Structure 1
Amino acid sequence: MKIVIIGAGIGGLLTALSLHDAGLTDIEVYERSAEIRGLGVGINLLPHAVRELTELGVVDDIAALGVEPSALAYFNRHGQSIWEEPRGLAAGYAWPQLSVHRGRLQLTLRDLVERRIGDVIRTGHRVVSVEDRADSSTAHFETARGPVSVDADVVIAADGIHSAVRAERYPDEGAPPWSGLTLWRGVATAEPFLDGRTMVMVGDGEQKFVAYPLGPVGPDGRMPINFIAERRGAGSGEVDWNHPIDPQPIVDLFREWSFDWIDIPALIASADEILEYPMVDRDALPGWTFGRTTLVGDAAHAMYPNGSNGGSQATLDARTLAFHLATAASPEAGLRAYEADRRPATAALLEQTRQAGPEKVMVLAAERAPEGFAHIHDVIGPDELEEVATAYKRAAGFHPTSLNDRASLSVVR
């Protein structure tokens, strides 16, 4: 079975590795960019993704890139603690959570594809259309040398939130809708906060700050810290990924957010570079599969980063698709089974992220006690806090019990 993957981002590369591991070895990956440069900032891989990376045999390569967070802690805009929970192994999972640099992760996955599969990544190929037939598909590309057409038994579109393949099937969808929030992302080298391994979220539904370490403490006592600053009503909503900006206006927005355990304006000011992103997503689709063509990752279900789940969901897509293509009676049956597993699950998760996901506790705290509180349980009871966290884990597929007990997606050969 010849398989063409469109897009060499995290989702596309993991799909290639998953297909190869399942015994489907006739694979080619077509990437629009002239080279894979490994752009971006931090990304979290939650235990359900790390389980798949472990079974795929690549977790050691990826774990070497970052750190395992010990806890996730939520605070209000006054720096008061709302909720804290252990993460990864400390939370009862059989697999850890990993915080890594997205660009380094992409380059590592590229190297793994080249090492395991061979010279199968074709850069400088911009997809313009995919022609579906009953028993095959043809992907048409533009290149510097002119048009190129590639026939395949299956075409997998992993071409991101601006997917050309998705747009061809849903031409009236338009641009990704803006939530009204703008994100500013950066990496700073600074002294550790709290225990040096905790991921923190500070603020509410109008303004928020997220930070987590990306590496160990160095000889100078400092460590790389990924951060995301977020504000409603700022920015234009135009999607211009990796757009660098002057940090001073963002520092000013968070001027009062300096606490005894973290100095947020100083952290923002010390970043090497700050990139601006509008918070956008895509509506759930009625279908991902068209003949022998299907969608994975952000092309299928781009969602808000609430809950830090985008990369993890792309990982689940890749492994689920590979499992079904390798075990179904036909490619069509495999694609149907993949979509039946993943489309309803991601649609439900999309709705959770639009309701703030696990970060709902910050919204509730701000609504009920905008000026702060003596103790969080005067505002939100422990059972309600626990239920917010648990409901999101169930929707995202990483409740500890269900994840630890779920059958493997590895194909026994």
Structure 2
Amino acid sequence: MTIAIIGAGIGGLVTALSLHRAGFDDVRVYERVRELRPLGVGINLLPHAVRELTELGLRDDVEAIAAAPHRLSYYNRHGQPIWSEPRGTAAGYRWPQLSVHRGELQLALVEAVRERLGAETIRLGHRLTGLDTTDERARAVFETSDGSVSADADLVIGADGIHSAVRALRYPDEGAPRWNGLTLWRGTAVVPAFLDGTTMIMAGDDQLKFVAYPLRREADGSLTVNFIAEQRSDGSRAETVDWNRQVQIAPIAELFGAWRFDWLDVPAVIASARELLEYPMVDRDPLPRWTFGCSTLLGDAAHAMYPNGSNGASQAILDARTLAHALATAGDFAEGLHRYEEARRPATADLLALTRQQGPERVMVLAHERAPEGFADITDVIPAAELQEIADGYKRAAGFHPEALNTRASLDARLGQGS
């Protein structure tokens, strides 16, 4: 059985590793870029994703390049605490939460794929231009530096991101991703340690927000942090917002000029950035169908969603593991694809809807709506039970509530269903 994966991002690479572990040996990964470089900034791998990487034998490799936040804390724009909770093993999970540079993680996965599946598994410089499928066979057509080439496969998996070529071939009239009016600026900086040095912080509301979390502790005790600055606009910049566009740092730092808390100087963090990249906050509407004949979608190609809740990469990893398990334990590929889509499409649609409502970050929105000038005690503004339910509700929807995750059956096909 030949399986072709379109896209060598995190989702595509974990899919290749998962399929190989499940017993599928003829797997190929096609990537449009000619060179894989460690691009991007930090991402968070939540415990449900780290569980899957652990079962793939990758945890040590990822932990070597990652930091493990022990707490997540929300604040208003005045630096007052709204909600705080332990994360990872400190919250009772059997697996940690890990913060890692996206590009470094991707290259670690590339190395694992080449080592386990073979050096020629990843084929660079292949841009998908056509896909013909039946219930039993598929032919993918690629544009390369040597011209057009085709590849036959028993299954094609579209893991090629929010601008997925596979998705566009299935839904040619869908159009561009939807922008919600928020612009994000992402960067990394070396800053003095704040709080306990292992806390991920989110401050602000739905108009202006700042996020920071450690990626590495330096020898002098300072922290290399990943940060996100976010502002809502009136929508007039929708046509000019680009992906990965480098922008001047000073104007963004000025937006947060008053955000000097006694525990963190936000404008100083932004001003310390090595570079600042601009992104629009976009997503796509849920699809009525992922699978067409012997092809399906995975990760952002299937369910691109806002980063509220830090769950994009984690959901792609869950997709990959669910798909490999379904294909390995079903009677045939058609049944496996049905099981995969039945398990993942409704769940990700529900999660996408929650991210449009701010996900767990809704606590900051409510605090601003009910007490824009601040508060003496957050429970006078948002009852403790409401805060807890927002946090727990998102964990349940995203599949990483501690009790449920710790007791859920493994997705490792080698261990068998229910193990």
When normalised by structure 2's length, the TM-score is 0.97
In 2, Cα distance between the equivalents of 1:90 and 1:237?
A: 41
Shift in Å, 1:219: 2.3
Counterpart in 1 of 2:103? Answer: 103
- Is the contact made by 1:237 and 1:279 (CA closer than 8 Å) also made in structure 2? no
| Matched position secondary structure for 2:186 | strand
Partner of 1:44: 44
Aligned counterpart, 1:266: 268
- Residues 78-132 of structure 1, C-alpha deviation per residue, up to 9 Å, x if partnerless? 0000000000111111111000000100000000001111121000000011111
Q: How big is each residue's C-alpha offset from its partner over 1:246-275, in whole Å with a ceiling of 9 and x where there is no partner?
A: 011101111111111000000000000000
| TM superposition shift of 1:241 | 2.2
Q: Which runs of 5+ in 1 are unaligned?
A: none
Offset of residue 313 of structure 1: 0.1
Secondary structure at the aligned position of 1:8 is classed as coil
Mapping for residues 115-264 of structure 1, pairs under 5 Å: 115-119=115-119, 120-216=121-217, 218-233=218-233, 236-238=237-239, 240-264=242-266
Q: Residue type of the partner of 1:194?
A: L
| Shift in Å, 1:10 | 0.5
Kindly state the Cα deviation for residue 237 of structure 1 after the two structures are TM-superposed. Answer: 3.2
Tell me the SS of whatever aligns to 2:66: coil
- Counterpart secondary structure, 2:406: helix
SS in 1 for 2:216: coil
What is the letter of the counterpart of residue 33 of structure 2? S
Contact 1:393/1:399, CA 8 A, preserved across alignment: yes
Deviation of residue 412 (structure 1)? 2.0
| 2:254 is equivalent to residue 278 of structure 1 | no
Per-residue deviation, 1:11: 0.6
Aligned position for 2:5: 5
- Does the 8 Å contact 2:21/2:414 carry over to 1? no
Residue 295 of structure 2 aligns with an amino acid whose one-letter code is: T
Q: Contact 1:211–1:226 at 8 Å: present in 2 too?
A: yes
Give the drift of 1:168: 1.0
C-alpha displacement of 1:171: 1.1
**What is the match of residue 358 of structure 1?**
360
Cα distance in 2, alignment partners of residues 361 and 129 from structure 1:
45
Alignment of 1:315-326 (within 5 A): 315-326=317-328
Q: Distance in 2 between matches of 1:245 and 1:354?
A: 26
Secondary structure of 2:224 counterpart:
strand
Matches within 5 A, 1:373-384: 373-384=375-386
Task: Give the whole-Å Cα distance in 1 for the aligned partners of 2:193 and 2:180.
Answer: 32
Tell me how far 1:222 sits from its aligned partner: 1.4
One-letter amino acid matched to 1:360? R
d(CA) in 1 for partners of 2:174 and 2:251? 34
SS at match of 2:290: coil
Verify the 8 A CA contact 2:184 2:230 in the aligned structure 1. yes
d(CA) in 2 for partners of 1:106 and 1:243? 21
Report Cα offsets for 1:205-255 as digits up to 9, x if no partner: 111000000012x22221210000000007823563221110111011111
Aligned to 1:92: 92
Q: Is the 8 A contact 1:255 1:265 kept in 2?
A: yes
- Cα distance in 1 for partners of 2:191, 2:238 equals 30
**Unaligned ranges ≥5, structure 2:** none
2: distance between equivalents of 1:376 and 1:411?
46
Per the TM alignment, residue 308 of structure 1 is displaced from its structure 2 partner at its CA by 0.1
Aligned-partner Cα distance in 1 for 2:49–2:214? 19
Question: What corresponds to 1:397 in structure 2?
Answer: 399
Q: Residues of 2 paired with 1:254 and 1:379: CA distance?
A: 24
What is the aligned-residue identity percentage? Answer: 66
Cα distance in structure 2, aligned partners of 1:255 and 1:129: 50
Is this contact kept in 2: 1:182–1:237, CA < 8 A?
Answer: no
**More displaced 10-residue stretch of structure 1: 233-242 or 310-319:** 233-242
Letter aligned with residue 319 of structure 1: R
Cα deviation for residue 52 of structure 1 reads 0.5
Q: Tell me if the contact between 2:210 and 2:227 (Cα under 8 Å) persists in the aligned partners.
A: yes
Q: Aligned residue for 1:367?
A: 369
Secondary structure of 1:260's partner? coil
State the distance in 2 between where 1:251 and 1:134 align: 54
The Cα shift of 1:411 comes to 1.2
Q: CA RMSD in A?
A: 1.0
Aligned residue pairs total: 412
Whether contact under 8 Å (2:300, 2:316) holds in the other structure is yes
Q: Deviations over 1:127-179 (max 9, x none)?
A: 01111112111111000100010000000011100001101111111000101
Q: Distance in 1 between matches of 2:71 and 2:342?
A: 33
TM-score (norm 1): 0.98
Q: In the aligned structure 2, how far is the partner of 1:346 from the partner of 1:406?
A: 18
Q: Which amino acid aligns with 1:327?
A: T
Contact map agreement 1:182 1:276 (CA 8 A) in 2:
yes
